[in-house]
Chain A
Amino acid sequence: MRRTLPILAVLAVLLAAIAIANPFFLEPAGFLGFVRRAAPLVILAAGQYFVIVSGEFDLSVGSLVTVEVVVAARLIDGNEGATWPVLLLLVVLGLLVGLANGLVTTLLRVPSFIATLGMMLVLSGAVFLWTGGAPRGALSEGFRMFGRQTGWAVLILAVTALVVVLLTRADFGRTLVATGDNERAAALSGVRVNRVRILAFVLSGASAVVAGILLGGFAGVSAQVGQGLEFQAITAVVLGGVVLGGGRGSVVAAMAGALTLEALFTLLNLYGISGALEFTVQGVIIIAAVAAGAVRLPFAHPRRSKGDAHAAS
């Protein structure tokens, strides 16, 4: 909780600023609309959290989101009856991509930065090849409902949040963080370090599936729908104080980081600042957040009680 407070404070300030600039934001419809907009990024951040806290990266989620949306549009092609079978297929596809990322990173020992960068390029190339640059087909109403109807989007977000919080408290989550902190110690304690890491990548892939379903309904079909989302998700996680390199941070803070980032974009938008600046903002945030984590401020040290003064000796 202590580590979640700073980001919650920042989030509160930004939300207040939005409310001042746009009083509609205080009404349920206004606020839930914001939550719906933020939902895909929050879910991606939750998935990315598992990967980052285990000491890895997942750069492939943005193109995976694109793949999910483009594949869904083409296979459903407006046919309501195809909605559920295709959804199932999308889930399988996302889990397989996560599994591949995990296997390449752990068994082939390719650093995840490279492995998932490769996966990102593979997926982007595949989408381009398959669509020729212009996606065809259309999503069904049944599919679009999830991202378009605020109730559904908020429900999906709430369920996801609950599941990830439970996961981080379960044996899996605790051993995953320990692996990110000290892989060798974890392995010598009997943790199946490869397995928990692979599972983290699979969860990240799953988060891309959910985010893709929401975005498909909300933003529609395009070959750019997932562009840059991997960096937004990483920025959000870092903003939430999760340490790159693993071993430290909370998933609640990571999700709060995503909400904060979305609030920041909303605010920039409200003040008429160009959307093109979003990348610049993200860049500054990610560097500043990592720098703030690296520079150890004196007051950031936990208090030492008398009995533990030897920590200083």
Chain B
Amino acid sequence: MIGIGKSFLGVRVLGEVDLVAAAGEVHAVVGENGAGKSTLMKILAGVHPPDEGTIEIDGRGVSFGHPLDAQRAGVAIIHQEFNLLPERSVAENVFLGREPVRRGLVDRPAMDAATARLLGELGEDSFGPRDPVRHLSVAQQQVVEIVKALSLDARIVVMDEPTAALAEHEVDLLHRLVRRLQGRGIAVLYISHRLREVFDLADRVTVLKDGRLVTSAATGELTPDGLVRLMVGRDLGSYFPPRATSAGETRLRVTGGGNDRLRDIDLELRAGEILGLAGLQGSGRSALAKALFGAEPFTRGRMTPVRPRTVREGIAAGIGLVTEDRKAEGLALRQSVRDNALLVARASGRGRRDGVRELLERVRLVPPRQDREVRYLSGGNQQKVVLAKWLTVAPRVLLFDEPTRGVDVGAKAAIHDLMRELAGEGAAVMMISSELPELIGMSDRIVVLREGRISGTLPAGPSEEAVMRLAAGEVAA
């Protein structure tokens, strides 16, 4: 792709961007949200036509009027949100719209066999071609998307933040898949916010900022710090704000807490402290946050000051929850920033209605405009609005479930600072994160969950291995 430019409604989102990917190369595309990564990829996939520039595949100039043109030219794109039909089988999804036909009927055996062959080539045996997609995990659905790309003989596969929704152990599996694609001579364009995987996986890195090409270099020529500087355009200094010096009084205590997903939870959240909650996907981290908050309440055990049975009781007790899935659970996307920011205050009939502007500035929303619908905001800004929503009622306990997932580097740092700031003002903060470096960097204390129980508690700054051992249940000899 040479000299690509694109404007939306007169706003130039891309200009003079070059991107060259070789066959068999894993090419990471990085940049903050708004840098133009996704737009660039959508141009490659034929979703948007470029205003300027040319695209060549295998040396031949191409132009795409429609995503199908790009598909025929060998470009497959795997979006963050999958385009799969949950009620259909894996094979039906893979061959959707181009089912093999025999005597006027869909040739299911051929379809299943072709799908099974591709699954085999990827070394995937946890599910088969006839399983309905709704039974598959996010990671498995991703495999289905990859199989679909292979069945289309894709030469270029674009993956848009493929690990954003995956747990740590699933990430390894995905990386292995990417290596296999690479082994088949496919050029993989890999968009990611996670620097570590960029260095683990990519041969080359292209950095975009504000719609411009910053650099394109072999991964070996870069360091993680250097890459962050290139992305942000400034030095982020130390990654995480300094830790608390001492924890204050106990804000919340659970003894013997349990419900159908949790058992024997003994936990204490203290003022001024950030407690990290670690565990594998499905270990009950989100369930614990929701139990403390009252959304999926504890049915057993004691909790002080109260054991909330409903969300409203949780809020009345001064507990707030920043949910994992901000689009499904955190925001009313078609409402304005202001309406979202005031939702909790209005629902509980207390808290402040004025000073929304100051609040938005405090959570570092840029620009701090109140009238925009939140669906038009970037992930980072959306998360800041969720935060603002809770700050209206000044919670004493604030639970964060994956607060920086899908959020760009700059917003991530802002959210980290805010969490520390809130703790500093006397709130008890609990944080769930699948990103271990983040969890370790932020937490004053880490509690690890395994299969709905607490498998251990670690002091500030443990090694990743120590956390993983407790999370995965390997007994230290």
Contact = CB atoms under 8 A, between A and B. Distances in A.
Contact of B346 (A171, A188, A305): A171
A132 interface: no
B58 interface: no
A188 B331 contact: no
Contact of B330 (A171, A175, A188, A248): A188
A312 B348 contact: no
A313 B33 contact: yes
Contacts of A310: 32-35, 378, 408
B343 A191 contact: yes
Q: Contact residue range for chain A? A: 20 to 34
Interface in B1-22: 8-9, 11, 13
B247 interface: no
B332 A247 contact: yes
A307 B377 contact: no
A307 B329 contact: no
B287 to A, nearest CB: 14
A309 B13 contact: yes
A88 interface: no
B321 A309 contact: no
Interface in B302-316: 311-312, 315
B36 A188 contact: no
A177 B347 CA distance: 12
Q: Interface SS of chain A: helix, strand, loop or mixed?
A: helix
B374 to A, nearest CB: 10
A304 B373 CA distance: 11
Contacts of A191: 343, 346-347
Contacts of A188: 295, 311, 321, 323, 329-330
Interface in A263-313: 301-313
Contacts of A77: none
Q: Contact residue range for chain B? A: 35 or more
A186 B311 contact: no
B376 to A, nearest CB: 5
A180 B299 CA distance: 30
B72 interface: no
Contacts of B346: 171, 174-175, 191
Which residue, of A185, A247, A301, has the highest number of chain B Cβ atoms within 10 A? A185
Given A311-B34, A312-B11, 9 more contacts: A174-B339, A186-B332, A188-B321, A189-B344, A191-B347, A247-B334, A301-B9, A304-B8, A309-B34
List 5 A-B pairs, minimum CB-CB distance, nearest first.
A310-B34, A181-B332, A190-B347, A171-B346, A310-B378
28 contacts: A171-B347, A174-B346, A175-B343, A178-B335, A178-B339, A181-B334, A182-B328, A182-B331, A182-B333, A185-B330, A186-B347, A188-B311, A188-B321, A188-B329, A188-B330, A190-B311, A190-B344, A190-B348, A304-B11, A304-B376, A305-B367, A310-B34, A310-B35, A310-B378, A312-B8, A313-B33, A313-B36, A313-B38
